[in-house]
């Protein structure tokens, strides 16, 4: 069976949102008059979302459930969506309806014009705290500055990608992932479409500060050596400072006015450099840990129920 559109929604405890998600996506996709499927990736939900997804899949063959064995994280759920989607165009959308399904029509229009990646840009955000908006804005700008890939500002994972692009992304099996960066990295003809990001329909965000930080680290380490270079810059700067300081200290000591005696100056210098060294070690550790994870070569995710298998009885 050939499918034109695959809509992929990662789901982690979104029980109240699933019926509305299904209803709005069906309405929008039916209006295109083309074939579509809805790939619902259950990322280890514990609130009954899993049963709800299976129930939808039993009632509508276009709903294809991918049920993870545990929570693997949003980025990995998106990856499974790429793997299982069969459509000519693949759309990633949040399950909480912050990305209005109606915008898919705008994305599809650009795709029909020949663009291979159509990302949705958040022109406005509703129902999010100033803290979230501020950290998000700062994050996109930091990433833009320090990485070599020019990722579009204020664009999340909500985007449409052509089959060609998805096939390339499927070969990129890195463990610590930043999907929106990966989809910018591959190139192809890309374009943005502005939209208004809505408030969540129900439930709370599954992205506490800790997870946002982890995502930011994936983005930075995955696309840049900048943190490693910072240690080098710091090393040169403090070595340079030391070379300049040595004659100054000698002259001042010889002049006999008691400058630089006592332990306080020594202590400050030792603590400062000790701190810098430990931070540099930590940065190195961050990259080495990631290397270690890659070396283990474990599967990215484990699937309990896949759309290829028969659905379990209710």
User: Smallest distance, Å, CB 84 to ligand UDP?
Assistant: 14
Which residues 166-205 are close enough to bind ligand UDP by CB under 6 A? 205
**Backbone φ and ψ of 72, nearest 5°:** -110, -10
CB of 69 to Mg ion, least distance (A): 24
Q: In the complex with ligand UDP, which residue's Cβ is closer, 43 or 162?
A: 43
Question: Any residues with CB less than 8 A from the CB of 151 and at least 6 apart, and which?
Answer: 140, 143, 144, 180, 181, 184
Question: Cα angle vertex 313, ends 311, 314, to 5°?
Answer: 115
- Which residue, 173, 135, 143, 138, is CA-closest to 297? 173
Going residue by residue from 97 to 136, which x/- string records binding to ligand UDP, judged by CB under 6 A? -x--------------------------------------
Give the span between the Cα atoms of 206 and 99, in whole angstroms: 15
Identified binder of Mg ion from the candidate list 96, 99, 116, 157, rule CB under 5 A: 96
Judged by beta carbon distances under 5 to 8 A according to partner kind, the member of Mg ion, ligand UDP, none in contact with residue 188 is: none
203 closest CA partner among 6, 1, 31, 13? 13
The three-state secondary structure class of 152 is coil
Residues 48-107 that bind ligand UDP (CB under 6 A): 71, 73-74, 77, 94-96, 98
Minimum distance from residue 94 beta carbon to ligand UDP (Å): 4
For β-strands 63-68 and 117-125, DSSP reports them as: unpaired
At a CB cut-off of 8 Å and minimum separation 6, what does 50 contact? 42, 67
Q: Which does 177 bind (CB under 5 to 8 A by kind): Mg ion, ligand UDP, none?
A: none
Compute the least distance from the CB of residue 220 to Mg ion, in Å.
Answer: 22
Position 36 contacts ligand UDP (CB under 6 A): no
Stretch that binds ligand UDP, among 5-13, 51-59, 239-247, 294-302 (CB under 6 A): 5-13
Phi, psi for residue 222 in degrees, rounded to 5? -75, -25
Among 17, 50, 98, 190, binds Mg ion (CB under 5 A): 98
Q: 159 is in the binding site of which of Mg ion, ligand UDP, none (Cβ under 5 to 8 A by kind)?
A: none
d(CA 299, CA 278): 32
Answer whether 122's CB lies under 8 Å from 193's CB: no
- Residues in touch with ligand UDP (CB under 6 A): 10-12, 14, 43, 71, 73-74, 77, 94-96, 98, 205-207
- Residues in touch with Mg ion (CB under 5 A): 94, 96, 98
């Amino acid at each position: 069976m050939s499918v034109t559109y695959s809509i992929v929604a990662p789901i982690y405890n979104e029980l109240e949102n699933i019926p509305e998600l299904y209803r709005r996506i069906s309405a929008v996709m039916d209006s295109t008059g083309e074939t579509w499927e809805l790939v619902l990736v259950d990322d280890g939900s514990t609130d009954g979302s899993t049963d709800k997804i299976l129930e939808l899949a039993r009632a509508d063959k276009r709903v294809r459930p991918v049920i993870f064995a545990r929570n693997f994280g949003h980025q990995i759920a998106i990856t499974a969506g790429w793997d299982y989607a069969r459509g000519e165009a693949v759309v990633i959308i949040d399950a909480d309806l912050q990305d209005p399904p109606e915008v898919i029509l705008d994305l599809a229009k650009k795709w029909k014009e020949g663009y291979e990646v159509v990302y949705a840009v958040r022109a406005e955000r509703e129902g999010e705290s100033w803290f979230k908006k501020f950290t998000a804005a700062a994050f996109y700008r930091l990433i833009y500055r320090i990485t070599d890939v020019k990722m579009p500002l204020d664009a999340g994972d909500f985007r449409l990608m052509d089959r060609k692009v998805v096939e390339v992304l499927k070969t990129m099996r890195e463990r610590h992932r930043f999907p929106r960066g990966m989809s910018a990295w591959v190139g192809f003809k890309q374009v943005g479409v502005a939209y208004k990001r809505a408030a969540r329909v129900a439930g709370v965000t599954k992205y506490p500060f800790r997870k946002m930080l982890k995502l930011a680290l994936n983005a930075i380490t995955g696309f840049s050596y900048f943190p490693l270079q910072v240690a080098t810059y710091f090393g040169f700067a403090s070595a340079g400072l030391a070379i300049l300081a040595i004659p100054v200290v000698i002259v001042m000591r010889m002049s006999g006015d008691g400058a630089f005696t006592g332990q306080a100056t020594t202590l400050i210098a030792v603590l400062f450099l000790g701190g810098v060294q430990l931070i540099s070690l930590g940065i190195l550790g961050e990259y080495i840990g990631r290397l270690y994870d890659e070396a283990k070569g474990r599967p990215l995710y484990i699937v309990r129920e896949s759309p290829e298998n028969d659905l379990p009885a209710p």
